Structure 1
């Protein structure tokens, strides 16, 4: 029954009821209170008071957030604000009561930690931070005293704990400031060194005088390619762009003896400059030392084997993985390499199900299976020194990825197996042919076709028609939860999969959908890589464009095929797969064109490569530096020419950013800093700064405790803030566990990290499988339905 409109008459009735109950309602509260009461004045004064209290609690929650920001050293979370507001029962509660309730809520949460140090670490993480700054030492002291109070320490012990915490923070800050200053100075020094080298380069017109040769001789050597080019400089000439070569004098002088016998008169005056230039290290010298233009030769064990490569290529649902794992299971020894820890677990499970004992190796996890001669691993963990009979390298189209592609190049070129089975989309074929040729390995291509029809829906799909067996694909976490909330309101049960979830939670959500506990799956494009989600009736894209970090661009043909191809399952309940777009998300004809298109090879067929620890150390030694930043910048500039015919340098931007931050931690060796630079971090979560803080603590010899989330609300009452916190801490734990595999004496509490990971995974799984309350459903929904039309950002 519709509510009666709120007007003067309703206002008067409400005020009269309030006066009779001894309550005061402000003009601003009257209309929302009327709506909360359902458009009727309750006869019971207690019901009116309860409704007014609930309304004021919402206002107090906003006020509490402001008080928490202004308070000194109060590490309040959203759940603390909720608990404090719920604890207030006086309708006239003022600022003093609000702060007292908030403080009690924080104390209760901190007391739930396992110990003082754990509680303090979590509390310091939650402290409000001023823009571009750190909490004051006074705030640190207040926070520490609050932790001491939460654990009911005696006054003397509490004062000592607070003093120790403040002194430790002062020590850590001094070390961080010193490291940051040293990093800045090192960066300036190394950039200056690079500029000095670049300023020493000369162009072709200077070569005759430099080489003491005639112009004709120089032109002949250039035509024959006998003079090493340091770099090409883009210029405009006559309205067109040209690339002008520049040369390193030191490198040229080193090749003079191979051109012709040097003139006697030239030897004495050139001796000293050659020594000076060599000390600065020419580009050619750096490139020769790194040897990335001879990358295949780096893998001595693989080159010593009589290898053959089998490229098993086909679309999604064509049986590639079955083929690869079958060959692997039949071999006496082998390794399966994939892009995700989750897939490594699935390979291991599949092999163990066939009676093949299999170990696991990922960046942050090892499981040794006694007597096993098979290993399932992430591609970055490829073992390069242990020969196998068979290796399977999955998702070969990842070769085209600028950041992770070098790991696939290394695995395919370097895995020491007599038979290397490479699985991937047909688009990867041209690059695989080039890789095989560079290795000198014979290549056999096997083409598989999809085991079941895949069609494009002719018309867009309204959200109301999304039902059992459908997967809706979004392109951000925010959009996933908008769709989830909308489908829950329509009575659907929903499982979700997105990148921030840990492997065990993704598998649990996939199982819920596969076994029918959830009717609909809402996922990001994370499902495009092999996760066993079971038969899909239909894949429905929320939009046919995605934000790639730089712009909103249309989905590629490969993305449409890779993700849409998850629809249908040969021999299953949905043999025919359907690919569609949500109403308002794009033109269905674009899907039809994408599914019908042939393979689209990468624009650049040269495989990407990246340096390893040995190369970094060799380059640093050659240029006479202990700066990781300097070594990586020189590699970036020097190691591979942009026109190298065989290879291209992968994206080193993340490693260079971390190197610039940790370079000031001089107590850590160059290779220790390189290890930090290789750690997987989330830059959006201040990952580089956190990694730098860990490096500083490492240098001080301090044990680095694993991140912890502290007490979390019950899953059925959890809002987005608590869920995002748990996901954030889980990602930090992934980085911490990765570091613990390399520095176990500093990252010591591996059992604590594993326990916290299990706890967070279980809690997140419970949150996602719970049917949220109406209050939290409303909180999950976005103000605007971002799944209609192009995504708002």
Structure 2
């Protein structure tokens, strides 16, 4: 027999046998090894016996985990699906009878549940809704009627309501009504989608081939080809063929409507030099798209921004690596201007732009997706890129992080901002990788470009060897690529007595800034972060240490590319704080030579030089009017099918999958205008926590004329006792509040109580920051250190083959 205390093994065994004989309590064979270890720790030197109370306490200690499991089984059978393992474990701790029956266990659980439910909200109804929201967020589960009644009765008991049955009955009626509404929404959506698809198919069946065009227009084959090349005849659809050619199809109704214009076209053709007829493959020449494309005009996207095109714009492209002073150069010019605009990729950076301008004595307002700060008399605005105002000319504008032009989720916003910013002098800031794309956009706009290339103010070097966890020092930043990995590493370092700050994407800008401040002020020795630190946050990092050299990008797990290593690693060695920046890799994760190679690599060529574009509200309305439909689903289907050719030489349609998914789900919500549906489709939600379904529920209440109350905080335990699951729940609630506040700025008549939502957001932020600040948090470290000799090649969140962790799924980027 092995034991942690081999010198006490025999006394513990003797004490155990004696205690069993004295008390008559039954002990399972599988329990004996654990009991011996517990008893060994409590034995005095030389003793071979323990008293009955000590033995009973030891037996309770060993049996608490099975009791928790038994309680989980009992509550599930009773329909209490909202009871968590943390609840049952808390109840098991209070049991002091080593042989309790089920009634005794349930009796211990009852006060734990009453306290939990009472803490879920200020009123019984709010408590029920918060419990339901947590279940829906965590698992997508909705309560069955019997489960809802069980919960309602338990909440009524916790709040000491006089009539629990009446409260439960009221909730059941509301739930049945809600489910009927959801069913009706789904059925209506299905029918409307079918109608739009049939409409599209009927239209496609009505199309005729190019061979029919001369007969319909009573023109020659040569004339038809010329008019197509001149964008006069719309090609309704291009069908790729197996030989690489395209079959052109035309809408006969549209062609017949153009007949009266043919004499004028012929006269104009006689006045211009004759052209060589164009064959259907057309090489690289632009030809007319369908009438939908002509209405949307995405193939002439730059012309969509009329205010910007009316200005004599000049572009200054300022490029350089991290820590080269790009923002300082542009902000000085912006501060000197009489009017100006600063566009940032994140709300946090928009705030920093505003603070920088205010510190220079320039009154500046703020506009982000979820908040506004209007400064009376200000002629400068700091905003997120998506909030770029397009109709108010200014003297100077800044657009930061232009390398985001290639981002698959938000690249179209940078295209729109660069093409549409109504500034006489536009400063575009970014990494050197963005230079070719910005030049291409400037060419499409007809704007002249001058370039300023900056170098780092302090050197950046790659470490010669890897770094172990024990070697991490003050001012080091450890980089992982998921929330789970960050928190696993945090637990390991806290166990070593380190003071730690963390930054990852699920945290709000306010919490990220607070954590960064703790690190900068020396209240935390080490920062653990995801690539969320790659943009923004002024950090006094001396050394960046990568805890992983591969990341899951939403589609696949791949090696980090040079731009990512430079962007993140470039945060090391802040000018004026450290003489140089060092970039290293954690021991067991990969080779330092990889870091050397990435830092030395030239900018990666951009695979597709066509900027991403997507429709806006005006384009959506125009297409809807053209096809005679108020269905956003139908409009987006037509835009995806007809607006841009796949081989368009200038533009490519951005990824609009989430907008399309929201539009599809909203089809069954009656009494929303097309414009309102488009606003909902643009709302930043995370579908990993059922964000689209929640959005549909909110939209249905809005359409019915009901107020949509802001989400609450739910139960917030004392920060020092918060578990990781409770932290994640609070982060999800914050995401809900972000989406709600975003909608409240656009639909204030439906999304009321903004002040309450902002106060709730502040409470959540404070609580989350308090949890992260706790240096004695009870976060459990992994049983096997990710960097132990047995698991050297497996950083947190990955298996030995580098498989992505389960929590890494694509989501909507924060704005």
TM-score over 0.5 for the pair: yes
> How many equivalent residue pairs?
768
Aligned partners of 1:359 and 1:375 also within 8 Å? yes
Structure 2 CA distance for partners of 1:778 and 1:22, relative to 1, 3 Å = farther
Q: What is the Cα deviation at residue 102 of structure 1?
A: 3.2
1:296-341 Cα shifts (integer Å, max 9, x gaps)? 2222222232221111111111101111222222222222111111
Q: What is the Cα deviation at residue 7 of structure 1?
A: 8.0
Identify the range of structure 1 (661-670 vs 43-52) with the bigger mean alpha-carbon deviation. 43-52
Q: 1:615 aligns with which of 607, 616, 619?
A: 619
Identify the range of structure 1 (297-306 vs 34-43) with the bigger mean alpha-carbon deviation. 34-43
1:141-193 Cα shifts (integer Å, max 9, x gaps)? 332233222222222xx444333222222222111111111111111222222
Q: What is the Cα deviation at residue 122 of structure 1?
A: 0.8
* Number of the residue aligned with 2:106: 99
Structure 2 CA distance for partners of 1:499 and 1:313, relative to 1, 3 Å = same
Structure 2 CA distance for partners of 1:203 and 1:146, relative to 1, 3 Å = same
* Number of the residue aligned with 1:137: 145
Q: What is the Cα deviation at residue 395 of structure 1?
A: 0.6
Q: What is the Cα deviation at residue 98 of structure 1?
A: 3.0
Q: Does 1:33 align with 2:41?
A: no
CA distance in 2, matches of 1:692, 1:551: 30
1:611-654 Cα shifts (integer Å, max 9, x gaps)? 11121122112211121111111111111222222222111110
1:234-286 Cα shifts (integer Å, max 9, x gaps)? 4434xxx55554444445555566666899xxxxxxxxxxxxxxxxxx96221
* Number of the residue aligned with 1:71: 78
Q: What is the Cα deviation at residue 491 of structure 1?
A: 2.8
* Number of the residue aligned with 1:682: 686
Q: What is the Cα deviation at residue 372 of structure 1?
A: 2.4
Structure 2 CA distance for partners of 1:423 and 1:170, relative to 1, 3 Å = same
Aligned partners of 1:76 and 1:127 also within 8 Å? no
CA distance in 2, matches of 1:6, 1:219: 98
Structure 2 CA distance for partners of 1:77 and 1:216, relative to 1, 3 Å = same
* Number of the residue aligned with 2:60: 53
Q: Does 1:548 align with 2:553?
A: yes
Structure 2 CA distance for partners of 1:624 and 1:645, relative to 1, 3 Å = same
SS of 2:290 mapped into structure 1: helix
Q: What is the Cα deviation at residue 780 of structure 1?
A: 11
* Number of the residue aligned with 2:6: 4
* Number of the residue aligned with 2:303: 297
* Number of the residue aligned with 1:529: 535
Aligned partners of 2:289 and 2:644 also within 8 Å? no
Aligned partners of 2:137 and 2:689 also within 8 Å? no
Aligned partners of 1:482 and 1:786 also within 8 Å? no
Q: Does 1:487 align with 2:496?
A: no
Q: Does 1:464 align with 2:470?
A: yes
CA distance in 2, matches of 1:221, 1:711: 68
* Number of the residue aligned with 1:85: 92
Aligned partners of 1:110 and 1:150 also within 8 Å? yes
Identify the range of structure 1 (438-447 vs 21-30) with the bigger mean alpha-carbon deviation. 21-30
1:102-133 Cα shifts (integer Å, max 9, x gaps)? 34323222223222332121132245899987
CA distance in 2, matches of 1:389, 1:736: 34
CA distance in 1, matches of 2:265, 2:232: 16
Structure 2 CA distance for partners of 1:261 and 1:738, relative to 1, 3 Å = closer
Q: Does 1:786 align with 2:795?
A: yes
Aligned residue runs from structure 1 range 721-740, under 5 A: 721-740=725-744
* Number of the residue aligned with 1:566: 571
CA distance in 2, matches of 1:67, 1:617: 56
Q: What is the Cα deviation at residue 202 of structure 1?
A: 4.5
1:191-218 Cα shifts (integer Å, max 9, x gaps)? 2222333344454455555555565665
Q: What is the Cα deviation at residue 711 of structure 1?
A: 2.1
CA distance in 2, matches of 1:226, 1:716: 70
Structure 2 CA distance for partners of 1:540 and 1:130, relative to 1, 3 Å = closer
CA distance in 2, matches of 1:715, 1:96: 32
Aligned residue runs from structure 1 range 180-199, under 5 A: 180-199=186-205
CA distance in 2, matches of 1:781, 1:677: 43
Structure 2 CA distance for partners of 1:775 and 1:256, relative to 1, 3 Å = closer
Aligned residue runs from structure 1 range 299-698, under 5 A: 299-534=305-540, 536-572=541-577, 574-698=578-702
Aligned residue runs from structure 1 range 211-290, under 5 A: 228-237=234-243, 241-253=244-256, 284-290=290-296
The runs of 5 or more residues in structure 2 that have no matched partner are 45-49, 267-287, 805-815
Q: What is the Cα deviation at residue 222 of structure 1?
A: 6.6
CA distance in 2, matches of 1:337, 1:36: 62
CA distance in 2, matches of 1:95, 1:199: 69
Structure 2 CA distance for partners of 1:33 and 1:404, relative to 1, 3 Å = same
Q: TM-score, normalised by structure 2?
A: 0.88
Q: What is the Cα deviation at residue 672 of structure 1?
A: 1.4
SS of 1:236 mapped into structure 2: coil
Structure 2 CA distance for partners of 1:779 and 1:718, relative to 1, 3 Å = farther
Identify the range of structure 1 (221-230 vs 21-30) with the bigger mean alpha-carbon deviation. 221-230
CA distance in 1, matches of 2:226, 2:237: 20
SS of 1:611 mapped into structure 2: coil
Structure 2 CA distance for partners of 1:226 and 1:623, relative to 1, 3 Å = closer
Aligned partners of 1:496 and 1:522 also within 8 Å? yes
* Number of the residue aligned with 1:711: 715
Structure 2 CA distance for partners of 1:786 and 1:600, relative to 1, 3 Å = closer
